[in-house]
Structure 1
């Protein structure tokens, strides 16, 4: 998962680098990194023995791969199609995080009561707000100008994924 978070950070950095010089190759590079992030997420989800319910990781891996393919395909078109695909990817990420956080919250409440909610729920909330904010900010500046600032969102998502992974490791170590 740390590799996935790092790839999200690289995706954001790539968006900054190619913000004013978008090309098919830069879109394909970003799509390839999303595919790799999804593949690494699936690898982690299928090899994780501590968490018996890996459905959320599998769903995130599948969506990263699917949208990575779509981003690579739409990169051959116009920048408008590419930016729209990024917006759809962010909305799907926000949806998955929202549902995952809801179930984590319900599970935490059922076990420990409302006061025992873990800090990972706050990371899920930050993921939802970050990914949900991306589609809202894509069009106001215009398609070409949007590329100049949307790179910050995958960077934030990558940092949040790394934070969530660190929290999961800490929780797993406390259980053992």
Structure 2
């Protein structure tokens, strides 16, 4: 008879989080602002696809089992795949695809914030900062979508604004993941 040994559990911080890919996308947009090459489109699509695959892997491991994290992983995977398919396309198509990603992100984040608020509304142990971070993420993503889709139509924005917004979104998403993982935060699935 074989002895039963416990499987080593992996810390939740050892597996990368999707928000790291968002920060890297922002860095790519800052470094390569105004340029659209096949490498640029492929890198953006690959990072979004990586964020989606990491999110799917995290949900398979039980590290993020909410329906919102599964939807976010699917969103990132599909848009990353679309950007990889669009490699070599005109710059406007890549920009509009990232802008549409930001709008879908803002929509899903707004719904997630609403359900978080409804789920913790009666709790005495409410975490107000999580609600504030949700709202700021929605505002950043909405602004990112506006900058990417309508920024080229209106007055020219400073180069790299979208990159800064992506970096801010990634950092805020990291803070949100950290706050939701805090034991005092109750997050309804």
SS in 2 for 1:116: coil
Instruction: Report which stretch shifted further, 73-82 or 88-97.
Output: 73-82
Give the superposition deviation at 1:73.
Answer: 1.9
Contact kept? 1:4, 1:40, Cα under 8 Å = yes
Contact kept? 2:126, 2:185, Cα under 8 Å = no
1:116-158 Cα offsets, whole Å, 9 max, x none, are: 3432111111110000111222233459x66632111211111
SS in 2 for 1:21: coil
- 1:118 aligns with 128
The equivalent position to 2:73 in structure 1, one of 61, 65, 72, is 61
- 1:87 aligns with 99
d(CA) in 1 for partners of 2:144, 2:68: 21
RMSD: 2.4
Which structure exhibits the higher relative contact order, with contacts defined as CA atoms closer than 8 Å and separated by 6 or more residues? 1
- 1:26 aligns with 40
- 1:134 aligns with 144
Contact kept? 1:46, 1:54, Cα under 8 Å = no
- 2:167 aligns with 155
d(CA) in 2 for partners of 1:34, 1:60: 11
SS in 1 for 2:161: coil
For structure 1, the 5+ residue unaligned runs are none
For structure 2, the 5+ residue unaligned runs are 1-14
d(CA) in 2 for partners of 1:2, 1:163: 14
The equivalent position to 2:60 in structure 1, one of 42, 46, 56, is 46
Q: How many residues align?
A: 169
- 1:13 aligns with 27
The structure that has the greater radius of gyration is 2
d(CA) in 2 for partners of 1:7, 1:164: 15
TM-score (normalised: structure 2): 0.80
Give the superposition deviation at 1:173.
Answer: 8.8
The equivalent position to 2:117 in structure 1, one of 101, 105, 112, is 105
The equivalent position to 2:84 in structure 1, one of 48, 66, 72, is 72
The equivalent position to 1:96 in structure 2, one of 93, 97, 108, is 108
